[in-house]
Structure 1
Amino acid sequence: MMNWIWLGAVVAFGVLEAATAALVSIWFVGGAAVALLASFLGAALWLQIALFLAVSVGILAAVRPLIKRANAKTVPTNLDRVIGCTARVTEEIDNEAGTGAVYVEGKTWTARSSDGTVLPIGTRVIAERMEGVKLYVKPEPISSTRQS
């Protein structure tokens, strides 16, 4: 009877793992597989459970550092590149009219004013945040603008 239970556990944890995008149950698949093998060999129930737990914890301990290392590599996104950058208004920014665009880092972005003020073409602004594909900007402080 335990053979069927452990086999069902292997299948259930395997299906759960296949259905998710992250490692959530792979360690239980290994633990259940070892417990299934122990069951076939006639091991006592307490030993099957102990093997299931020990192997599951062992696989988790072995895989966790690899997952952390893989997740540590961050790929810069457009958000990382433009937030905090100075931009130039290329289309008047008027939140009420739903208009506005800025040119920053070689690209034109749909833009809105962070504080709701209308910003005319040519105004130098700083990108504060992004929501969806819109940059929210504020006018660049006067002290940091270049004098011509």
Structure 2
Amino acid sequence: MEYISWAWLLIIAACLAIEAFTMGLTTIWFAIGGVAAWVVYFAGAGIEIQIVVFLLVSILCLFLTRPFFVEKLKVGKTRTNAESLIGEYVKVVTEINNINNEGTVKVGGQVWSARSLNDEVIAEGEMVVIKKIVGVKLIVERK
């Protein structure tokens, strides 16, 4: 039955290798489950118990800790260029009026076309928050 020990080691190594290449914070939890099953193997438990421990530990780790680590490590959420503007507060340069198709805001020294989120008229000089980007226009809302 020593081959079971090697099987758990192979599962652990495979999960770690996959995680190293994907960085998706998914297979790392199955590697942890593999370690738990390997420990249970050395404690003398049968293969059924080892598989149950592997699945329980892996799934619990996946669902209970992954969201925390994904948020802390910002996995898969790299905002670049224009997307990084969302949530920023900016000043209206010219009145925003969706009906007349006009309005601009100044963001980091650049003037962008802007439209209001709720079709409201926003006066020059007001502060607004960028909610989304559609094409080359910023969709904004009053602060």
Question: TM-score when scaled to structure 1?
Answer: 0.52
Question: Alignment identity in percent?
Answer: 28
* Consecutive unaligned residues in structure 2, runs of 5 or more: 95-103, 116-132, 138-143
Kept after mapping to 1: 8 A contact 2:26/2:62: no
- Report the equivalent of 1:7: 9
CA distance in 1, matches of 2:91, 2:79: 15
Structure 1's consecutive aligned runs of 4 or more residues displaced over 6 angstroms after TM superposition are 74-77
2:7 partner SS: helix
Q: What RMSD over aligned residues (CA atoms) do the two structures have, in Å?
A: 3.8
1:7 partner SS: helix
Is the radius of gyration larger for structure 1 or structure 2?
1
Kept after mapping to 2: 8 A contact 1:30/1:55: yes
2:113 to 111, 116, 126: 126
- Report the equivalent of 1:35: 37
User: What do the CA deviations read for 1:65-123 (whole angstroms, capped 9, x no partner)?
Assistant: 4146535xx898763268x97669xxxxxxxxxxxxx99334347xxxxxxxxxxxxxx
1:43 partner SS: coil
- Report the equivalent of 2:107: 105
Question: TM-score when scaled to structure 2?
Answer: 0.53
User: What do the CA deviations read for 1:110-137 (whole angstroms, capped 9, x no partner)?
Assistant: xxxxxxxxxxxxxxx7247476xxxx35
* Consecutive unaligned residues in structure 1, runs of 5 or more: 89-101, 110-124, 138-148
**C-alpha spacing 1:103/1:38, structure 2 compared with 1 (3 Å):** closer
